[in-house]
Structure 1
C-alpha cells in the first residue's frame, strides 16, 4: 500500500523554518536571561552572606586536619587499629543513643496525634469555616517555622536539663510539619464520597472518618515514618543545648577535644540513622508498596 507524502511549497516551508528559528532563538534568549539572573542573584546572596572564597581555600586545611585528628587515638595510631580503645565508652553511648531514639519516638507520636486532629481543620475542602482554618494554619506555621532546637532551648530553661525538653520540642515542630503534609493530602482527596455520606445526614466527623480518612491513611503512615527518621537526627542535635540524648555527650567530647570520642560517637549516630532509614523504608514498602518509599 502506497502512502502519499505532502510536500509544502518552498515559500511556505521557508516561512515555517523562519518561524521555528525565531521561536528557538526566543527560547534560548529566555534561558540565557534566566541563567544570568540566577548567577546575579547568587553573587548578591554570596556577597550578603560574606562568602569569601579566599577564606574558604585558606582554611580548608583546618577542616581536613580536624578529620585527621578525630581518626587518631591518643597513642598516635589510627582508630581502626584498636576498636577497644576507640569505642571504650560504647555502653554509655548506646544508653544515650537509646534515649535519643526514645525522645524522637515519643515526640513523633505526640506530634502525629496532634497533627491528625488538626489537619482536617486546616484543609480547605474539609475545614468547617474559614476563620477556624485561618487560625489553625497560622498555628501550624508557627510550630514548624521556629527551629526545634530553639524550642528545646526554651524548654530546657523552663523544665531543666533532660529528655523532657527534647520530647516537647520535637512534638511541637512535628505538629507543624506533619499537619501541613496531612492537610495537603486531604485537599487532594476525592470529595465525592464525602458528598455521598453527607447526603445521608451524617455528621462532619463521620464524613471525615468514612470518606476522607480511608483515602489518606496510607500517606499519613508513610509521612510519619519519614518524619521519625528526621526526628532521630534532630534529637541527636538537641543534646547540644542539654535536651538529653547522645548529643549531650558529643558536645562534651567536642569541647574537651576528645578527638577519637568525637569520631566514635558520630559513627554510632550515622550507623543508627542508616539502620532506621532502611528499616522504615522496608516497613513502608511492606505496608503500602514500593511507591510509598519515594
Structure 2
C-alpha cells in the first residue's frame, strides 16, 4: 500500500510552525503562571499556619532520637536482642488488640448499614425528592466532617470509658464517609436497566432492588473492606481519649516513658494493619475477580 504525503510550500509550513510555536508558548506560559500562583499560595498558607522551617531543622534530631530510644530496653541493649523482654506483655496487648479489631468491625458494620440505607436518597439520579436529597447529604457531611476522635471524646463523656464510645464514633463517621462513596457509586450506574425496570411500572424500591443493586454491590463491598482497614487505625488512636482498645495501653506507655513498650505496641498495630490489608485484598479478589480489582 502506497502512502502519499502532501507537499506544502515553505511559506505555509513556516506559518504552521509559527502557529504551533505560539500555541506551545501559550501553554507553557499558563503552566508557569499556574505554578507561580501555586507557590505563592503555598507560601501564604505556610505563613498563616506559622510553619517554621528553621524550627523543623533544629528539632528534627529530637524526632529521630525518640525513635532511637523506643528501640532500647531498660538495660540499654537493643530491643531485638531480647524479644521476651521486649514483648513481656504480649498476652495483655493481644487481648486489647482483639478488642480494637472487634470495635472496628462492629463500628464499620453499623456504619455500612446506615450508609447503605441513606446513600440512595443522596444520589442525584435516584433520590425521590430534591429536598430529601439535600437533607440526607447535609447529614452525611456532618457525620464525616467532625473527626471521629471528637465523637469518641463526646461519647466517652456521655457513656464513660470503654469500647462503646469507640464503636459509636466509628459508626457515625463511617456513615458519612461510606455514604458519600456509596452515593457516588450509585450516580455512575448505567441508567438503561433502571429505565427498563421503571417502564414496567415498578416502584422506587423495586427499581433499586433489581436495577441498581446488581451494579453497585461489588463497589459497596470493596469500599466497606477499605473502610474497615481505615477504622482499625482510627480505633487505635481513639484509645488516647479512653474509647477502648490497644490505644489506651499505648498512651499509658507514652506518658510513662515506657519506651520499649511503645515500640512493641506500635509494631503489633503495624503488623495487624499489614495482615488486614493482605486479607482484604485477597477477599476482594475472591469476591469480584482480579479484573474488577484492577
Shorter-chain TM range is: over 0.9
1:155 equivalent to 2:152? Answer: no
- Deviation of residue 274 (structure 1)? 0.2
Relative distance call for 1:210 and 1:13 in structure 2 (3 A) is same
Which structure 2 residue ranges, 5 or more long, are not aligned? none
Q: Which residue of 2 aligns with 1:62?
A: 62
Relative distance call for 1:37 and 1:141 in structure 2 (3 A) is same
Q: Which residue of 1 aligns with 2:105?
A: 105
SS in structure 1 of the partner of residue 88 of structure 2: coil
Residues 4-153 of structure 1 aligned to structure 2 (within 5 Å): 4-153=4-153
Relative distance call for 1:91 and 1:39 in structure 2 (3 A) is same
Separation (CA, whole Å) in 1 of partners of 2:101 and 2:293: 21
Separation (CA, whole Å) in 2 of partners of 1:2 and 1:197: 53
1:164 equivalent to 2:168? Answer: no
- Deviation of residue 285 (structure 1)? 1.2
Separation (CA, whole Å) in 2 of partners of 1:94 and 1:39: 47
Q: Which residue of 1 aligns with 2:173?
A: 173
Is the contact between residue 222 and residue 292 of structure 1 (CA under 8 Å) also seen in structure 2? Answer: no
Separation (CA, whole Å) in 1 of partners of 2:262 and 2:269: 11
Q: Which residue of 1 aligns with 2:206?
A: 206
Separation (CA, whole Å) in 1 of partners of 2:292 and 2:70: 38
Q: Which moved more, 1:47-56 or 1:154-163?
A: 47-56
Runs of 4+ in 1 over 6 A off after TM superposition: none
- Deviation of residue 2 (structure 1)? 4.6
1:279 equivalent to 2:270? Answer: no
Separation (CA, whole Å) in 1 of partners of 2:50 and 2:158: 36
Cα RMSD for the two superposed structures: 1.0
Separation (CA, whole Å) in 2 of partners of 1:233 and 1:287: 24
1:98-138 deviation digits (Å, cap 9, x = unpaired): 00000000000000001101111111111110111100000
Separation (CA, whole Å) in 1 of partners of 2:265 and 2:216: 39
1:31-70 deviation digits (Å, cap 9, x = unpaired): 1111111111111111111111110111111111101100
Q: Which residue of 2 aligns with 1:216?
A: 216
- Deviation of residue 213 (structure 1)? 0.5
Q: How high is the TM-score relative to the length of structure 2?
A: 0.98
Separation (CA, whole Å) in 2 of partners of 1:158 and 1:2: 83
Q: Which residue of 1 aligns with 2:197?
A: 197
1:232-254 deviation digits (Å, cap 9, x = unpaired): 00000000000000000000000
- Deviation of residue 151 (structure 1)? 0.3
